[in-house]
Structure 1
Amino acid sequence: MNDKSSPRRPRQAGVAAALGVACLAFVPAARAATLPEVQVTKAAIPDFEFDSARNGKLCASCNGGQSNSLFAFTAADGKLWVATVDFQTGAFYPPDGHGVLVDTETAPVVDFGNGPEWMSGASGSRIVYTRYKSGATHSESTAQIGMATMLNGSWTPSVLANSAGRATPDGSKDDTDTDPRINYIAADKSALFWRKMSKSSTEVTMPISDLTGGNSRRWVPGTRKIIFQGHVATDPRLVDQVFTYDTDSGAVEQLTFDKVGKYGGFMWKAPEYNNEYVFFTMADFRRKILVYRKVAGTDGVKRWTVTKTITPPTQLPFFWSPEVFTHNGRSYIFTVVSPSNKFWDKAYPTHLAITGIDPLKQNFKMLTNDTTKPRVRLDPEYFITAKGPFIYYNRMVPVTDKYPEGVNDGVWYVDTGLGAPVSK
Structure 2
Amino acid sequence: MNVPRLSHRPGLLAGVAALVAAACSTGFEARAQAVLPEVQVTTAAIPDYEFDSGRNGRFCASCNGGAGNALFAFTAADGRLWVGSVDFQTGAFYPPDGRGVLVDTETAPVADFGNGPEWMSGSAGSSIVYTRYVSGSTHGPSTAQIAVASMVNGAWSPTVLPGSAGRATPDGSKDTNDADPRVNYIAADKDALYWRRSSALGDEVAMPISDLTGGNSRRWVPGTRKIIFQGHNAADPRLVDQVYTYDTDSGAVEQLTFDAVGKYGAFMWKAPEYNNEHVFFTMADYRRKILVYRKIAGTDGVKRWTVIKTITPPAKLPFFWSPEVFTHNGRSYIFTVVSPSNKFWDKSYPTHLAISGIDPLKQNFRMLTNDTSKPRLRLDPEYFITAKGPFIYYNRMVPATTQYPDGVNDGVWYVDTGLGAPLSK
Instruction: Give the shorter-chain TM-score range.
Output: over 0.9
Preserved CA contact (<8 Å) 1:324 1:334: yes
Q: Aligned-pair distance for 1:62?
A: 0.3
Q: Distance in 1 between matches of 2:233 and 2:60?
A: 43
Q: Distance in 2 between matches of 1:21 and 1:85?
A: 36
Structure 1: 4+ residue segments shifted above 3 A: 2-5
Q: Give the aligned partner of residue 423 of structure 2.
A: 422
Q: Give the aligned partner of residue 22 of structure 1.
A: 19
**Is 1:339 the equivalent of 2:343?**
no
Q: Give the aligned partner of residue 405 of structure 1.
A: 406
**Is 1:287 the equivalent of 2:285?**
no
Q: Distance in 1 between matches of 2:118 and 2:105?
A: 16
Q: Distance in 2 between matches of 1:196 and 1:32?
A: 48
Higher mean C-alpha displacement, 19-28 vs 143-152: 19-28
Aligned length: 421
Q: Aligned-pair distance for 1:29?
A: 2.5
Q: Give the aligned partner of residue 121 of structure 2.
A: 120
Q: Distance in 2 between matches of 1:376 and 1:171?
A: 29
Aligned letter for 1:318? Answer: F
Q: Aligned-pair distance for 1:3?
A: 8.9
Preserved CA contact (<8 Å) 1:379 1:394: yes
Q: Distance in 1 between matches of 2:350 and 2:312?
A: 19
Matched residue SS, 1:141: helix
Q: Distance in 2 between matches of 1:245 and 1:77?
A: 35
Matched residue SS, 1:120: strand
Q: Give the aligned partner of residue 135 of structure 2.
A: 134
TM-score, with structure 1 as normaliser: 0.98
Change (3 A) 1:263 1:4: farther
Preserved CA contact (<8 Å) 1:9 1:342: no
Q: Give the aligned partner of residue 11 of structure 1.
A: 9
Aligned letter for 1:25? Answer: S
Aligned letter for 1:224? Answer: R
Preserved CA contact (<8 Å) 1:52 1:68: yes
Instruction: Spell out, residue by residue over 1:101-146, the C-alpha distance to the aligned partner (whole angstroms, 9 max, x if none).
Output: 0000000000000000000001100000000000000010000001
Aligned letter for 1:8? Answer: L
Preserved CA contact (<8 Å) 1:350 1:376: yes
Matched residue SS, 1:125: strand
Q: Give the aligned partner of residue 358 of structure 2.
A: 357
Matched residue SS, 2:402: coil
Instruction: Spell out, residue by residue over 1:370-408, the C-alpha distance to the aligned partner (whole angstroms, 9 max, x if none).
Output: 000000000000000000000000000000000011000
Q: How does 1:130-279 map to 2 (within 5 A)?
A: 130-279=131-280
Q: Distance in 1 between matches of 2:138 and 2:2?
A: 25
Matched residue SS, 2:254: strand
What are structure 1's unaligned runs of at least 5 residues? none
Q: Aligned-pair distance for 1:4?
A: 4.8
Q: Percent identity?
A: 79
Q: Distance in 2 between matches of 1:190 and 1:17?
A: 43
Matched residue SS, 1:242: strand
**Is 1:75 the equivalent of 2:44?**
no
Q: Aligned-pair distance for 1:342?
A: 1.2
| RMSD of Structure 2 on Structure 1 (CA) | 1.0
Q: Give the aligned partner of residue 330 of structure 1.
A: 331
Instruction: Spell out, residue by residue over 1:239-264, the C-alpha distance to the aligned partner (whole angstroms, 9 max, x if none).
Output: 10000000000000000000000000
Q: Distance in 1 between matches of 2:94 and 2:124?
A: 25
